Amino acid sequence: MAASSLRSYFQSLAGKVFGTAMIPVACFLVLIAAYMLPTVHALLLGAKKEGLRNVVESAQAQVAGLAAEAKAGRMTQEEAQRRAKELVNAIRFADKNYVFIHGPGHTILVLPLAKQLENKPSSELPPATLAIVKALREASSVPEGGFYDYPYGKPGKEGLFPKSAFAKRVPDWDWVVGAGIYVDDINAEMWRISFALLGGALAVAAIVAYISRNRSRAMVRPLLQLVQGLRESDLPKRIDVAARDEIGEAAEAFNGYNGKMRATVRDISSYAERVASGSAELAATSQEMARAVHDIARVSEELKGAGEQVSQAMRSLSGNVETMRERTAQTGAQSDKAVEDTARGAEAGQGAAQGMEEIREATGRVVKAVQVIQDIARQTNLLSLNAAIEAAKAGSAGKGFAVVAEEVRKLAERSRTAALEIAELNQRTQDAVAGGVEGVKVSLDNLRTIGERITGIAASIQEIGSLSRAQEETSRDVAQRMAHTAQGLAQNASATQELSATVSEITKTSDDLAGVAEGLRHVVDGFKV
């Protein structure tokens, strides 16, 4: 949790400013730890070695001076060596460090902290000690002397510790004067110096960190207010910064931007309301258009079906008109023939009327003849009656005559009866002839009227033929126009389908526009204006 919080802090601008300010301090600390401390360690070690060299050279010079006194005869060699040993045995430096003397044959002449090893032959020395003695003699073989590092025990402590020794010879006596220092003492002193340097550096770093942290917070505080205002979308918010630096300029720019943004968001809010209203109206209009397109498509389909029916009817009508024209032509021809037949019938009627008149005249004569026959029959009947009377008067002589008279009477009676029948038939014939004459007259009048009407009908039929031909042409034209209309209706149906698809796209667009308007409303609602 702490690592996450620290990471979050250093990801912030204040953390970055603080981190930027602390980078030189961290570099300085790294420089101290990586360069200055090793350098100081090397310098300290060099100084210690140089001090060691000075101590050894000073002791070697004093011993060499005593050797020179003995060589000059101003004192004996034994006295000079005794005094040299006493002098070297008394030397102490850097607290408990001492100077030693190794003599010829790898013997130890002076070793203040290990007296038990002094003046022993090399064969009685511990191998490690003998090896050190030999190495120091080897290091001192050069006139200026030399250093030798080796592990050695430390008084009061167990184990071996790294030690650096410097040795230089006294040529007159073949002595090796030397001294050593423990490297861990140098390291301990180095740690004390390092702690002092690092403590000071850390104190400076802490001061710098405190100042940097406060300054970074002061610098970032307006930006935090800016971020908070942006996060809360608080457009009326203003940042009061008295600083004249880049942060102050950013705050002033933010205040100006917020003012412009506030006006812009208000405009967007107004536009969003207009877009929402327009999208609603567009949706309603698209719905109305969809219904209208549906109705148009339905009517177009109905019109298309009706047009096909009309085209079929017109084709049938054209065929019927053609048939009617043919029939009209035939009827015209028949009407002309009927007119001729009516004329001939009228002539025949006139002939019949004349014949009837002649029959009536003949019938009149027959009537007169019948009347004569009836008169004869009456007279004969009277004669027969007279003959019968006379025969009756004659008796048997007139019997035959009576028979003849009876036969004559019967013949006269039959003649009278036949005359009556003929008169009745004649009367009927006269009545029939009279009716026939009247009928013939009426027939003649009717034939004339029929002839006139047939003539009118023939003219009408000719006119109908002309109209039928025109109707046929009109039917063909109508059929062609209906075919074009059907094609147009098909195109209209296709266009209606495209219009329906367009209306669907408009509906989808209006829905998308409504979604955009709703999104704009949500966006605008996220701002405080």
Q: Which residues contact 364 (CB under 8 A, 6 or more apart)?
A: 430
Specify whether the CB–CB gap between 411 and 380 falls below 8 A: yes
For domain 24-207, the CATH architecture is 2-Layer Sandwich (3.30)
Collapse the DSSP code of 106 into the 3-class scheme (helix H, G, I; strand E, B; otherwise coil) and give the result. Answer: coil
State mean pLDDT over 285-292: 73
What is the band of 512 on the pLDDT scale with cuts at 50, 70, 90?
confident
79 pLDDT more than 80: yes
Rounded to an integer, the average pLDDT of 250-268 is 73
Mean pLDDT across 358-370: 72
> What is the structure's pLDDT at 87?
94
pLDDT at 177: 96
Q: How confident is the model at residue 199 (pLDDT cuts 50, 70, 90)?
A: confident
**Stronger pLDDT, 372 or 144, i.e. the higher one:** 144
Structural domain boundaries in the chain? 24-207, 293-504
Q: Cα(239)–Cα(258) distance, rounded to whole angstroms?
A: 10
- Mean pLDDT on 250-276: 73
Q: How far apart are CA 28 and CA 227, in angstroms?
A: 34
- Quote the pLDDT of residue 373: 75
pLDDT at 90: 92
Q: Is the pLDDT of residue 488 over 70?
A: no
Model pLDDT, residue 168:
96
- What separation in angstroms does the CA of 461 have from each of 234, 339, 341, 451? 97, 13, 18, 14
What pLDDT shows up at residue 312? 73
Nearest to 45 by CA among 190, 203, 161: 190
Residue 13's pLDDT is: 61
Cβ-Cβ contacts under 8 Å for 281 (sequence gap 6 or more): none
Cα 98 to Cα 20, 49, 151, 421, 454: the distances in Å are: 52, 14, 16, 212, 176
More confident residue, 85 or 191: 85
Q: How does strand 97-103 pair with strand 92-93?
A: antiparallel
**pLDDT tens-digit map of 424-466:** 776 776 676 677 667 667 766 776 776 677 677 667 667 766 7
Q: What is the mean pLDDT of residues 150-165?
A: 87
Looking at residue 155, what is its pLDDT?
A: 77
State the Cα torsion 375-379-380-386 to the nearest 10°: 170
In sequence order, the β-bridge partners of residue 150 are: 163
**For range 65-93, the mean pLDDT:** 93
Which carries the bigger pLDDT value, residue 340 or residue 206?
206
pLDDT of residue 458: 67
pLDDT of residue 142: 94
Can you give the pTM of this predicted structure? 0.40
- Say what percent of the chain tops pLDDT 90: 19
How many Cα neighbours within 13 Å face the side chain of 249? 2
Predicted confidence band of residue 80 (pLDDT cuts 50, 70, 90): very high
Check residue 61 and give its pLDDT.
95
Q: DSSP string of 308-371? A: HHHHHHHHHHHHHHHHHHHHHHHHHHHHHHHHHHHHHHHHHHHHHHHHHHHHHHHHHHHHHHHH
pLDDT at 149 over 80: yes
CA distance 98 to 91: 6
Cα–Cα dist 200/213, whole Å: 19
Residue 206, exposed/middle/buried by CB under 10 A (0-12, 13-18, 19+)? exposed
Token look-up 């209309």 returns 485
Mean predicted confidence (pLDDT) in 76-99: 91
State whether residue 125 is helix, strand or coil. Answer: coil
Query: What pLDDT was estimated at residue 467?
Result: 67
d(CA 322, CA 310): 17
Query: Can you tell me the mean pLDDT for 37-50?
Result: 81
pLDDT range class, residue 75, cuts 50, 70, 90: very high
Name which residue leads in pLDDT, 67 or 194.
67
Euclidean distance between CA atoms 443 and 350, whole angstroms: 10
**Could you tell me which of 244, 201, 248, 200 has the C-alpha nearest to residue 223?**
248
Distance CA 529, CA 513 (A): 24
Q: Look at 289 and 103; give whichever has higher pLDDT.
A: 103
Distance CA 17, CA 239 (A): 21
Q: Is the pLDDT of residue 179 over 90?
A: yes
Cα–Cα distance between 441 and 348 in angstroms, integer? 12
Burial letters 35-71, b for 16+ CB under 10 A, else e: ebbeebbeeebeebbebbbebbbebbebbbebbebbe
**Mean pLDDT computed over 25-32:** 76
Query: Degrees (nearest 5) of the Cα angle 37, 43, 48?
Result: 125
236 pLDDT higher than 90: no
Q: Which residues sit opposite 93 in a β-bridge?
A: 97
CB contact at 8 A, 98 and 91: yes
Q: Which secondary structure element, helix H or strand E, spans residue 113, and what is its range?
A: none
Q: d(Cα 305, Cα 294) in Å, to the nearest integer?
A: 16
- 3-state helix/strand/coil string of 449-513: HHHHHHHHHHHHHHHHHHHHHHHHHHHHHHHHHHHHHHHHHHHHHHHHHHHHHHHHHHHHHHHHH
H/E element holding 115? Answer: none
Helix ranges restricted to H, 1-36: 2-11, 13-31
Q: Is 114 helix (H, G, I), strand (E, B) or coil?
A: coil
pLDDT at 381 over 60: yes
The residue length of the chain stands at: 529
Determine whether 119 is exposed, middle or buried from the number of CB atoms within 10 Å of its CB (0-12, 13-18, 19+): exposed
d(CA 316, CA 310): 9
Which pLDDT score, from 0 to 100, does residue 130 have? 94
Give me the CATH code for the 293-504 domain, please.
1.10.287.950
CA–CA distance, 69 with 62 (Å, rounded to integer) = 11
Average pLDDT value for the chain: 77
For the ranges 149-158, 365-374, 488-497, the one whose mean pLDDT is highest: 149-158
